[in-house]
Amino acid sequence: MRVAVLGATGSVGRQALAVLPKIGGEAVSLAARHASPSLLEAACHHRPHLIATAERPTEDFVRALPEGIEIAWGEGALDAAALAGDPDVVLVAVTGIHGLRPTLSALASGRRVALANKETLVTGGDLVMAAAEAGQIVPADSEHAAVHHLLGGRPWHPGQRIWITGSGGALRDWSIQRLREATPDDVLRHPTWRMGPKVTVDSATLANKGLEVIEAHHLFAAPYESISVTIHRDSLVHGLVEEADGSFKAEIAAADMALPLARALAWPNPVPDLAGRLVPTDLPPLAFEAVDQRRYPFLNAAYAAGKMGGIFPAVLNAANDEAVGLFLEGRIPFSDIYRLTAQVLDLAVREDAGGPVTLEGLLERDAWAHRVIRTAQEKGRFP
């Protein structure tokens, strides 16, 4: 099994590279934003056909690469990495809207995409699912991989309800009044998962669950009214499917990305035990909580953007992405992440004239939302 790994130096990419030899896979291309020492180390270990970066690699980096490895950088590099070495599977684990174009390229060429980037379907779900008629998408993130497994790889059918579980993040026990005081260090102390900074902040605002609702809508062809979110603090139940007869199916597994990644890469073949087996008698009571909309207002905004469709999920995603970046830089308080995101979404609703959605239009609206928030922060006021 030949695999292109896009986002090779991120948390998911590194775990995927560790999983590959255990399921009989090899990395035929690696892509990352920077030509970093960790990318060089991965290249020396896996010997891919191609290395792709957003920026031009230094001469020292190029000289240190093993012979025979091609290099692509700049615009089009991710697309090149998605097809280099004739991969069977393309793992899309890059961040943000950057995963959209290479996903479309991989699907158009008939490849299977192991999707660990929720923003790809959030921003361009209609375009991606249309392209999936030529290829195939298998979710590689924990929650959607669990639902995919519970549904047997089939779409949602009437009468079912999909339940997406979330831990509630690092601030789940803080008072609502205290949230404004949260620092990046506070937010990045996730109670159960070890993830990148952006995803960890999204866990604290529940933006990750809001985006996952939109993703589930596209992946499983489920109406928004049939997708719910519940807080499950122990991160042991990764997904639930409620059947028409009122019964539930649940996937219970260790909080380890090795399992969903292995499944997505090897689908439909079975995979070995990579995450460690749980002993039922050692499990804590499995508790679930309703989402407190006052603590997590982002969730309702995501449902609203998803139902509006068009460019609005892309605007929501980009605005949140920019606001999270400002928070991590210490330039806005935690509570302003949602406030700014909601204001940009409202501005987009007032300005948008509708019309067909194109890749270029989505990329333009993504850039617009980033620009609006950055400008508002610099001027100290929102337009």
Alpha-carbon gap, residue 302 to 324, rounded angstroms: 16
pLDDT band at 87 (very low <50, low <70, confident <90, very high): very high
What digits encode the pLDDT tens for the residues 50-60?
Answer: 999 999 999 99
- Higher-confidence residue of 377 and 318: namely 318
What digits encode the pLDDT tens for the residues 340-378?
Answer: 999 999 999 998 766 678 999 999 999 999 999 988 888
Q: What percent of the chain has pLDDT over 90?
A: 80
pLDDT band at 383 (very low <50, low <70, confident <90, very high): low
Report the chain's mean pLDDT, rounded to a whole number: 92
What digits encode the pLDDT tens for the residues 19-28?
Answer: 999 999 999 9
Q: Where, residue-wise, is CATH 3.40.50.720 in the chain?
A: 2-140
pLDDT band at 70 (very low <50, low <70, confident <90, very high): very high
Is the predicted pLDDT of residue 380 greater than 80, yes or no?
A: no
End-to-end alpha carbon distance in the chain: 51
Alpha-carbon gap, residue 319 to 316, rounded angstroms: 5
Question: 24-33, 63-72, 132-141, 184-193: lowest mean pLDDT where?
Answer: 184-193
What digits encode the pLDDT tens for the residues 102-126?
Answer: 999 999 999 999 999 989 999 999 9
Is the predicted pLDDT of residue 191 greater than 90, yes or no?
A: no
Report the pLDDT value the prediction gives residue 382, as an integer from 0 to 100.
65
- The residue-averaged pLDDT of 150-156 equals 91
Task: Look up residue 35 and give its two tokens.
Answer: 């030509």
Alpha-carbon gap, residue 46 to 84, rounded angstroms: 14
- The residue-averaged pLDDT of 260-277 equals 88
| Sheet of strand 26-32, all strands in order from the earlier edge strand to the far edge | 70-73, 50-53, 26-32, 2-6, 89-92, 112-115, 136-139
Cα 367 to Cα 93, 217, 311, distances in angstroms: 20, 24, 12
Strand duo 237-242 + 161-166: pairing: antiparallel
CATH number for the segment(s) 2-140: 3.40.50.720
Q: How many CB atoms lie within 10 A of CB 216?
A: 29
- The residue-averaged pLDDT of 291-306 equals 95
Contact 1/89 with Cβ under 8 angstroms? yes
Report the pLDDT value the prediction gives residue 209, as an integer from 0 to 100.
96
